[in-house]
């Protein structure tokens, strides 16, 4: 596995220098997770951040009554748990693989050691600022686009220009990923099906 190449595909690490990326690649730990595996639980001591290479991971919070609220569905090329690097010492959410997944794990202590280098630290801070701007743009998109636009944007970002998509993500998880309720998402799918814009049978989604 070429960790440097995989880091090249990650939005979070986009723009850092080649030397910094090579240093980062040396501390990456490949990890496989079977479907339904819990990577960490809300409240666990935060030891690592993750880059998802293949598959999908659900991040959720659990209310005192046991109800789970999905915060995000993570796709390939995305990182998660970055908050434990500086802001939190414990994971604020639970992470569960919703398909078989391949990840790169980066231990917090190893990354903090790299930050002792001024060149790497400058690279990393600049990257965090870019990430902040990216998240601000995503929030703007989520607030300005309607649910149909967000749905098709999610499909393009996660599956490219395919017209036939084999997905293991449930409709509930699709809804969470695009920031809507399962009920609203179901109504959207019924309307798009009626308009012959798509058909969805089992795990196969076909776009017209």
What would the pLDDT profile of 22-44 be if each residue is shown by its tens digit? 999 999 999 999 999 999 999 99
CA of 204: how far to CAs of 159, 165, 166, 179, 198, in Å? 13, 6, 5, 22, 10
More reliable by pLDDT, 70 or 56:
56
Which two three-digit tokens encode residue 3?
A: 């960790």
pLDDT given for residue 191 in this prediction: 93
pTM of the model: 0.71
Beta pairing partners, 74? 57
CA of 113: how far to CAs of 107, 117, 121, in Å? 10, 8, 10
Confidence category of residue 7, pLDDT binned at 50, 70, 90: confident
What percentage of residues in the chain have a pLDDT greater than 70?
A: 92
> For residue range 125-182, what is the model confidence (pLDDT) as tens digits?
887 777 666 656 655 665 556 888 888 888 887 777 788 888 877 888 888 778 788 8
Mean pLDDT of the chain: 85
pLDDT given for residue 202 in this prediction: 84
Q: Closest Cα partner for 102 from 75, 68, 122, 81?
A: 75
Task: Tell me what the mean pLDDT of segment 69-90 comes to.
Answer: 84
Round to whole Å and give the CA distance between 149 and 142: 9
């Amino acid at each position: 596995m070429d960790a440097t190449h995989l880091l090249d595909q990650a939005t979070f690490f986009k723009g850092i220098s080649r030397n910094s990326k090579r240093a980062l690649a040396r501390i990456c730990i490949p990890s496989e997770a079977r479907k339904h595996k819990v990577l960490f639980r809300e409240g666990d001591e935060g030891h690592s951040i993750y880059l998802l290479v293949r598959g999908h991971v659900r991040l959720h919070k659990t209310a005192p009554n046991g109800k789970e609220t999905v915060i995000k569905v993570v796709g390939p090329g995305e990182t998660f748990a970055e908050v434990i690097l500086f802001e939190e010492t414990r994971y604020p959410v639970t992470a569960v693989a919703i398909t078989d997944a391949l990840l790169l794990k980066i231990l917090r202590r190893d990354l903090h050691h790299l930050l002792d280098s001024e060149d790497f630290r400058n690279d990393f801070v600049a990257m965090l600022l870019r990430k902040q701007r990216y998240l601000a743009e995503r929030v703007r998109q989520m607030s300005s686009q309607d649910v149909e636009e967000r749905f098709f944007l999610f499909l393009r970002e996660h599956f490219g220009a395919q017209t036939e998509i084999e997905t293991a993500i449930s409709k509930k998880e699709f809804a969470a990923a695009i920031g809507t309720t399962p009920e609203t998402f179901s109504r959207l799918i019924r309307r798009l099906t009626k308009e012959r814009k798509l058909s969805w049978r089992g795990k196969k989604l076909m776009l017209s």
